[in-house]
């Protein structure tokens, strides 16, 4: 969510200088009890280099929610396990009472401000998320209410239960509640206008204690974390948009772990410091269906036909990516066997010098090169292309407002909920909160709605792939590559998780 002003507590932190090294980095697991056995010694703080600075003042409702979850600040009622299934987090267990209602039994936990994680506090936190505008992507097309349960006592979790009801049946609600944008915060986090401040009000193993604008952040260990005391005494995080700078910081020992190492820099790292992970992230070319150039479906088709994805996978990513085949890539293991070619797409028209503005961001270092190759391919097809490259935080608002004709985006297709339908609803429907392609198509909305209603794993997967085909038919999305992420891990660091969903980075077991 984008707020007109910074939350009060966070605003104070943003003005507080940080006494931290000029660069920093780290990546690891969250939760568990790996950190409860030993005291962290002086000097055990982790230095973490992240690729993306906050774009929304660290609001928990938008893209910045993932920064908070990756740094171990926030968590939700549920989490995702290695297989993409819902796993316990603040909820110890849950059960479905009927097609629209679920009961989540809470574990005993406390917020970082010292207050208890009570059913009332959890229900209020979910209510704030449900009322946020624009809505968190995880709630796109979903209306939910939450209330403290008064009829079950404390239950197995020891802290009571919360009943969550959705307006329409939602068979994947436990997955939905794992979204970083639905993190649970204490009542003190919210002001009268609903703005949420995660500083000192979350439940994770690390507490946000200082922010230096878009440059860095300081986190200290939260000793009362329900999952055990973290082995690191804190985190010094720096936001380093330049991929070469992140790689150099790792190489020279200035950081412990650097995320998103550029392909061009990977060979310069020692083999034992490189980790490559297949992810659910797909890089796509999004064509603005409301722009003067691409409101014409035949010109979108011409742009799609001009793109050679094999060149991108082989040359730009040097084999560290797979050529794009759809919205979902190889890491979504069931997708390929259920994919059908889109039918009914427009025939390619003649660009005849049509001018377009193509934009992308440099936080992911391969994207500017991808955009440059696309520029050449589109110009060869007859378009006139102006290329715009900048930091994501500077481009996001213009991209959401539809000010670019085309945008190159690397999107994790399962980050919002773990449910493959969520990215379709958020990114490609008329009411979607992250619809950079400005797509509003009745057939697409109907297909996505059908997928949202589908119950049962196989039925839902079939409906998802039918919706994918409906979206690809519009040529507003041209899948380019399916990414593998290279993480640089220092030789002294242990407890690192290479998360294909890119939700977690550090946790109780991370140490150096």
Query: What is the rounded CA–CA span in Å between residue 206 and residue 26?
Result: 13
Query: What is the rounded CA–CA span in Å between residue 452 and residue 439?
Result: 18
pLDDT confidence bin for 16, thresholds 50/70/90 = very low
CB 288 within 8 A of CB 405: yes
Q: Is the pLDDT of residue 450 over 70?
A: yes
Which of these three, 189, 209, 244, is where a domain ends?
189
Instruction: Write out pLDDT tens, residues 241-270.
Output: 999 999 999 999 999 989 989 988 988 888
Instruction: Write out pLDDT tens, residues 272-281.
Output: 899 888 889 9
Domain that holds residue 318: 278-485
pLDDT for position 152: 55
Min mean pLDDT across 104-108, 257-261, 411-415 is at 411-415
Return the ∠ at Cα 188 (arms to 185 and 190), rounded to 5°: 75
400 falls within a domain: yes
Min mean pLDDT across 357-361, 436-440, 453-457, 502-506 is at 453-457
For residue 413, the SS3 value is coil
CATH assignment at residue 332 = 3.10.105.10
153 falls within a domain: yes
Query: What is the rounded CA–CA span in Å between residue 107 and residue 75?
Result: 13
For residue 147, the SS3 value is strand
185 falls within a domain: yes
- Same domain, yes or no, for 180 and 282? no
Question: Residue range 120-126: average pLDDT?
Answer: 97
- Same domain, yes or no, for 163 and 295? no
Q: Is the pLDDT of residue 19 over 70?
A: no
Q: According to the 3-state scheme, what is the secondary structure of 416-481?
A: CCCCHHHHHHHHHCCCCCCCCCCCCCHHHHHHHHHHHHCCCHHHHHHHHHHHHHHHHHCCCEEEEE
Query: What is the rounded CA–CA span in Å between residue 325 and residue 336?
Result: 8
* pLDDT averaged over every residue in the chain: 88
Which of these three, 189, 212, 231, is where a domain ends?
189
| CA nearest neighbour of 289 among 281, 297, 280 | 297
Instruction: Write out pLDDT tens, residues 193-224.
Output: 878 999 999 999 999 999 998 899 999 999 99
Rg (CA), the chain: 22
244 falls within a domain: no
CATH assignment at residue 100 = 3.90.76.10
CB 51 within 8 A of CB 77: no
CB 486 within 8 A of CB 266: yes
Q: Is the pLDDT of residue 34 over 60?
A: no
Return the percentage of the chain with pLDDT > 70, whole number.
90
Instruction: Write out pLDDT tens, residues 431-445.
Output: 998 999 999 999 999
Question: Residue range 318-333: average pLDDT?
Answer: 91
225 falls within a domain: no
Question: Residue range 64-91: average pLDDT?
Answer: 93
Min mean pLDDT across 106-120, 146-160, 351-365, 407-421 is at 146-160
Q: Is the pLDDT of residue 17 over 60?
A: no
448 falls within a domain: yes
CB 335 within 8 A of CB 499: no
- Same domain, yes or no, for 145 and 290? no
Q: How many domains does the chain have?
A: 2
- Same domain, yes or no, for 301 and 434? yes
44 falls within a domain: no
Q: Is the pLDDT of residue 1 over 70?
A: no
Question: Residue range 3-10: average pLDDT?
Answer: 42
What's the Cα-to-Cα distance from 82 to each of 27, 279, 410, 506, 508, rounded to whole Å?
A: 16, 12, 22, 16, 17
For residue 158, the SS3 value is strand
- Same domain, yes or no, for 457 and 322? yes
For residue 367, the SS3 value is helix
| Residue, of 345 and 23, whose pLDDT is higher | 345
Q: Is the pLDDT of residue 145 over 90?
A: yes
- Same domain, yes or no, for 293 and 180? no
Which of these three, 124, 156, 189, is where a domain ends?
189
437 falls within a domain: yes
Burial 13-43 (b: 16+ CB within 10 A, else e): bbeeebebeebbbbbbbbbeebbeeeebeee
- Same domain, yes or no, for 309 and 422? yes
Instruction: Write out pLDDT tens, residues 465-497.
Output: 999 999 999 999 999 999 888 999 999 899 877
- Same domain, yes or no, for 366 and 476? yes
């Amino acid at each position: 969510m984008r707020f007109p002003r910074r939350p009060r507590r966070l605003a104070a932190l943003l003005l507080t200088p940080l006494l931290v090294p000029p660069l920093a980095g780290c990546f690891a697991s969250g939760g568990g009890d790996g950190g409860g056995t030993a005291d962290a010694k002086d000097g055990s703080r982790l230095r973490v280099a992240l690729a993306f600075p906050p774009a929304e003042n660290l609001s928990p409702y938008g893209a910045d929610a993932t920064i908070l979850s990756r740094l171990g600040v926030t968590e939700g009622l549920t989490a995702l396990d290695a297989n993409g299934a819902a796993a316990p987090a603040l909820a110890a267990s849950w059960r479905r009472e009927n097609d629209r209602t679920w009961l989540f039994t809470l574990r005993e936990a406390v917020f970082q401000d010292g207050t208890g994680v009570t059913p009332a506090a959890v229900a209020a936190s979910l209510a704030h998320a449900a009322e946020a505008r624009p809505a968190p992507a995880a709630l796109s097309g979903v209306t939910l209410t939450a209330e403290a349960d008064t009829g079950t006592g404390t239950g197995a979790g020891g802290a009571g239960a919360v009943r969550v009801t959705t307006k329409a049946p939602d068979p994947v609600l436990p997955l939905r509640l794992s979204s970083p944008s639905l993190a649970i915060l204490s009542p003190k986090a919210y002001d009268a206008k609903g703005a949420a401040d995660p500083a000192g009000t979350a439940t994770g193993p690390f507490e946000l204690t200082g922010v230096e604008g878009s440059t860095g952040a300081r986190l200290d260990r939260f000793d009362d974390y329900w999952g055990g005391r973290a082995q690191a005494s804190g985190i010094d995080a720096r936001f380093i948009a330049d991929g070469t700078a992140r790689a150099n910081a790792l190489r020279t020992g200035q950081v412990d772990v650097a995320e998103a190492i550029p392909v061009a820099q990977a060979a310069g790292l020692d083999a034992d410091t490189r980790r490559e992970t297949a992810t659910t992230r797909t890089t796509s070319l999004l064509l603005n269906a409301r722009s003067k150039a691409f409101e014409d479906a035949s010109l979108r088709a011409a742009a799609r036909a001009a793109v050679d994805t094999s060149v991108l996978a082989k040359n730009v990513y040097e084999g560290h990516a797979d050529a794009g085949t759809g919205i979902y890539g190889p890491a979504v293991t069931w997708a390929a066997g259920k994919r059908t070619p889109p039918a009914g797409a427009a025939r390619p028209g003649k660009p005849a010098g049509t001018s377009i503005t193509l934009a992308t961001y440099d936080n992911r270092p391969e994207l500017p090169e991808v955009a440059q190759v696309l520029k050449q391919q589109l110009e060869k097809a007859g378009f006139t292309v102006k290329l715009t490259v900048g930091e994501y935080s500077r481009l996001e608002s213009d991209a959401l407002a539809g000010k670019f004709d085309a945008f190159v985006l690397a999107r994790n297709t399962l980050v919002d909920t773990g449910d493959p339908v969520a990215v379709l609803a958020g990114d490609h429907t008329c009411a979607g909160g992250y619809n950079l392609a400005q797509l509003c198509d009745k057939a697409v909305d109907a297909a996505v709605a059908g997928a949202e209603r589908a119950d049962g794993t196989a039925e839902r997967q079939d409906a998802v792939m039918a919706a994918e085909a409906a979206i690809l038919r519009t040529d507003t999305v041209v899948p380019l590559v399916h990414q593998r992420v290279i993480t640089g891990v220092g030789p002294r660091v242990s407890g690192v998780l290479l998360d294909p969903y890119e939700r977690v980075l550090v946790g109780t077991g991370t140490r150096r």
